[in-house]
Chain A
Amino acid sequence: MRHILSTHTPLYMKDKDKENGQSPKDVLGDAAGEYKYGFVTDIDTDIIPRGLSEDVIRLISKKKGEPDWLLDFRLRAYRKWLTMKMPRWAHLDIPEINYQAISYYAAPVKKEGPKSLDEVDPQLIDTFNKLGISLEEQKKLTGVAVDAVMDSVSVKTTHREKLAEMGIIFCSFSEAVKDYPDLVRRYLGKVVPYTDNFFAALNSAVFSDGSFVYIPKGIRCPMELSTYFRINASGTGQFERTLIVADDDSYVSYLEGCTAPMRDENQLHAAIVEIIVEDRAEVKYSTVQNWYAGDKDGRGGVYNFVTKRGLCRGYQSKLSWTQVETGSAITWKYPGCILAGDYSTGEFYSVAVTNNHQQADTGTKMIHLGRNTRSTIVSKGISAGRSQNSYRGQVKVAPNADNARNYTQCDSLLLSETCGAHTFPYIDVLNDTAVVEHEATTSKISEDQIFYCNQRGIPTEEAIGLIVNGYAKEVMNKLPMEFAVEAQRLLSITLEGSVG
């Protein structure tokens, strides 16, 4: 199995394509164009045999040169996982997964640790170029710090020195384990314990790599930190782990993007993201998820079973999740906020698009524990083809969470006769001073709107693109600029050809 983890950049159109004289339409037009990132990078990969057992976990740990406490953590998680059952409550049709048929560790074979970009495997650089990422360009031009990781192992991190000057730690998870063991040990598994759920336990047992971010007290991270995930090798799964700690009065904006090659088989992605936000700190976490969604008939595609959770521990802390979900055959994902600090704020903005045979069951959890906590949920679902798209969200107000306030709005748009759009909110209020509101609507695009566009010479497909973009704007506006452009483009690609 291989994973690539790197910083994220726009995915829609590369300079290289421009040079070739290809218009974006050409790239996207034919079969391959339906999923543009479906190439396989042919570089040596160190893959361990398929299957899962304590020995495999020991092997992973050994390969990564991990300390005993971490191996112990993995083993405890593995033993817990053995006692757990795969969750079946979501509105998803998940085929049986043979966990013994997956290889749990795949790393690109590295020469001695690269000292500069020049030393990185040229093919890897090429991969990123194909993705539209040029590390160097990124480094020089965009100011986005890049943690580029192929399959399971972090490949290169840019801008680290500059960040280090400010005391910001941004490195791969394995490096963090080596260099900052105390920090990792203090925070690992504190927000998502390995007992949390089936996939969290699996990830805790076998996680390969991921990113670690620490923003010290009073520091505003001057650039957007970004991670790029890619599953490259076949027969592998991706199990990365991200840990972000924002100390008092700090701020960071973190971006995450994902792609995978086109394969007939289904690949498993079970990640964990843990975020800790201290007093008056703010974390903004944005995701553009574009894993391979399978072909038109639902063959192949990534199973995206992810546990993301932030703990707003501090007074006036703030965590904001923004996600644009366009890929994956099956998505099972509920980024949540535990609002433990008084006056803490949680936000969740989501656009989930499903087409063909995709299935998504996604939403959020807002757990109000502190006083005067606030949360906002805006979820926009768009279903097309034969897909099933569900919003599932929980808002819970604990007995001591006085004056908690929640506003939830989730809208669904139906673009075909055969798709489904579902809404499953769970609202539990145990405090009488709370104000919780939930609103949901489901409808198709109004024919009046399309007619209006047609009348003005805009073809139906384009009109739908316009309307959908307008519909999703509320969420798109929350994305960092370069992401927003890409996300809009992705939206159109995903829905391409869905209009009959």
Chain B
Amino acid sequence: MNALSQYIQLYQEYRKDIEAHSPALLNRYRPTALADLMQARFPEKGDEGYPALSVNKMFEPDYGVNINRVPFGVNAAESFRCGVPNISTLLALVVNDAFVPTAGLERNLPKGVEVMSLAKAAELLPDQVGKYYNTLALPRRGATAPAALNSLLVEDGVFVHVAKGVKLDKPLQIVNISNASAPFLAIRRLLIVLDEDAEASILLCDHSASQEVKYLNCQVAEVFLEPGAKLGYYEIEESSAHTSRHSQFFASQAERSTLILNGTSLIGGVAQNDYSVEHIGHHADTKLTGMVIADGEESVGNSTLVLHNHPQCHSDQSFKYILDDRSQGSFYGRIIVDEKAKFTKAYQSNRNILASADARMHTRPQLEIYCDEVKCSHGATVGQLDANALFYMRQRGIPEAEAKMMLMQAFMGDVIDTVEIPALRSRLHQLVEARLSGNRQLCADCQNC
């Protein structure tokens, strides 16, 4: 049986409670989400785009859902500082699926920038939120059943708005914490709107309070970049082997807008990240990068969909994986260039290293092109570290383990270099080094992970 039915049942049983704890705006979309889900099913392993993992299995266990908005311990959450040294960030926490502003967040926000709970925003700024909310998470843009499930059960989330021309100088850091003593499903939602010529960078970190308890995070992010806006969106997952993550990211880019996205999976259980970007104006620029370092029984899938609908747009994708032990990786990348999208440049690259005999990689880089004035390419490789380079380094007295580490770091180097915040870049180098040396205590200044 598809695991979806248990969630539909849950909704039908607790519909009143869910609606009572949510703003009207979020309730408005539940009936359509339900109708969609009635026709849908969670993708199974082997379905197109899911060569390695089953979304159905991910959602199968009996997870608890916080329908009645019982507050979780914020104090525990406070200890997740996950500070990035030498970087002053605006910090917000999301405990499971509840937004918890840190002291001073509001005070430190420059004028024209709003960072608040989605539920609160839906009440305070109904027009603004209503204009954007749930307009991107559609099947046409690659939304699957979990996105509709998110719309069905969502009660809160994060709303970020940067007004016209405002440039947020400090990165906004949102720390997602899974914290419950029993298996828990967090329905997370992000709505990010950058008005004309606004600029911001957002860093999202995922953590799990317990290494033993099963968590599932079902996240949907909708991002709107108005003309000339620029967003840096960085995600780092350092959760636990028992944490599953299903994330769908949707962006709509108006003319001249720029999106730089980096998704880094360092520690986790089973993760599926879908990125969907549509250009709704000319001269939009998209840089999608990702890196995965996985071991144990981890399974990480990244899937991208870039819809080029307007002329003169540019997209560049680069995803790199290092897979050890019995881990599995999958990459499903799609570029679709419409007839109208003349002078498109779209590139895609997926490079992978298998570091153990049992590691597996499945890659599906795809191009669909309906226009002749284009330059598109994609490439994919699966292989090992360069034996000659390794030999060269060992000849010069570098021990094998260290030489391997250096090569792997160099391999990830160009993905990390797409990050535009220097402090975060060096932090990522450090995290990758720590991760590659098998150190799971990644954040030195954090007590819980």
- Interface residues, chain A, with chain B CB atoms under 8 Å away: 89, 91, 397, 399, 412, 414-444
Contacts and interface: CB of A to CB of B under 8 A. Distances in A.
Interface stretch (B4-12, B83-91, B308-316, B357-365): B357-365
Sort A-B residue pairs by CB-CB distance and give the 7 closest, nearest first.
Answer: A414-B372, A432-B354, A429-B382, A444-B372, A435-B383, A438-B380, A423-B367
B431 interface: no
B213 interface: no
Interface string B15-49: 00000000000000000000000000000000010
> In which size bucket is the chain B interface?
35 or more
B352 to A, nearest CB: 8
Contacts of A89: 48
B335 to A, nearest CB: 9
B376 A438 contact: no
A428 B374 CA distance: 29
A443 B346 CA distance: 11
Contacts of A416: 372
B422 interface: no
B348 to A, nearest CB: 9
Given A432-B384, A442-B374, A444-B374, A417 B369 contact: no
Contact of A422 (B352, B369, B381): B369
Contacts of A427: 361-364, 380, 382
B355 A421 contact: no
Given A428-B51, A430-B360, A443-B374, A423 B382 contact: no
B351 to A, nearest CB: 10
Interface of B: 48, 51, 339, 352, 354-384
Contacts of B373: 417, 444
Contacts of A443: 374-376
B137 to A, nearest CB: 25
Nearest to A422: B368
A420 B368 contact: yes
Contacts of B368: 91, 420, 422
A161 to B, nearest CB: 51
Find the residue from B352, B354, B359 having the highest chain A CB count within 10 A.
B354
A438 B367 contact: no
A414 to B, nearest CB: 4
A443 B376 CA distance: 7
B379 A439 contact: yes
Given A427-B382, A432-B354, A412 B377 contact: no
Contacts of B375: 442-443
A211 B384 CA distance: 44
Contacts of B382: 397, 427, 429, 434-436
B383 A436 contact: yes
A191 to B, nearest CB: 23
Given A417-B339, A438-B381, A441-B377, A422 B367 contact: yes
Contacts, number: 115
Given A417-B339, A417-B371, A418-B339, A432 B357 contact: yes
Nearest to A415: B372
Contacts of B380: 425, 427, 436-438
Main secondary structure of the interface of A (DSSP, over half): strand
A435 B358 CA distance: 15
A441 to B, nearest CB: 4
A411 to B, nearest CB: 9
Contacts of A425: 363-366, 380
A408 to B, nearest CB: 9
A87 to B, nearest CB: 12
Contacts of A422: 366-369
Contact of B381 (A421, A426, A437): A437
8 contacts: A421-B369, A423-B365, A424-B364, A432-B358, A435-B381, A437-B380, A438-B365, A438-B378
A438 B366 CA distance: 11
Find the residue from B360, B372, B373, B377 having the highest chain A CB count within 10 A.
B372
B389 to A, nearest CB: 14
Find the residue from A91, A397, A428 having the highest chain B CB count within 10 A.
A428
B372 A429 contact: no
B366 A429 contact: no
B359 A432 contact: yes
Contact of A439 (B355, B369, B371, B377): B377
A418 B384 CA distance: 41
A277 B381 CA distance: 29
Contacts of A432: 354-359, 384
Contact of A423 (B352, B374, B378): B378
A427 B363 CA distance: 5
Given A425-B365, A430-B360, A443-B376, A435 B370 contact: no
A296 to B, nearest CB: 19
Nearest to B372: A414
B354 A442 contact: no
A93 B145 CA distance: 26
A420 B362 contact: no
Nearest to B375: A443
A424 B49 CA distance: 11
Contacts of A438: 363, 365, 378-381
B384 A426 contact: no
Given A397-B382, A421-B369, A441-B377, 13 more contacts: A420-B370, A425-B363, A425-B365, A426-B362, A427-B382, A431-B357, A435-B382, A437-B379, A438-B378, A438-B381, A439-B377, A439-B379, A440-B379
Nearest to A426: B364
Contacts of B378: 423, 438-440
A452 B278 CA distance: 37
A170 B376 CA distance: 46
Contacts of A415: 372
A414 B369 contact: yes
Contacts of B383: 434-437
Nearest to B354: A432
Contacts of A442: 367, 369, 374-377
Given A430-B360, A432-B354, A432-B384, A440 B374 contact: no
Contacts of A426: 51, 362, 364
Contacts of A397: 382
Nearest to B347: A441
A250 to B, nearest CB: 34
A374 B417 CA distance: 35
Contacts of A444: 372-374
A425 B363 CA distance: 8
A414 B376 CA distance: 11
Nearest to A390: B368
A423 B366 contact: yes
A415 B372 CA distance: 7
Contacts of B379: 437-440
B307 to A, nearest CB: 14
Contact of B374 (A414, A418, A433): A414
A271 to B, nearest CB: 26
B367 to A, nearest CB: 4
A422 B48 CA distance: 16
A422 B376 CA distance: 11
Nearest to A389: B369
B292 to A, nearest CB: 15
Contacts of B381: 435-438
A146 B244 CA distance: 62
Contacts of B362: 426-429
Given A424-B364, A426-B364, A428-B362, A433 B384 contact: yes
B361 A417 contact: no
A86 B366 CA distance: 23
A438 B363 CA distance: 10
A38 B356 CA distance: 57
B356 A441 contact: no
Contacts of B372: 414-417, 419, 444
B364 A440 contact: no
A435 B360 contact: no
B283 to A, nearest CB: 20
Contacts of A417: 339, 371-373
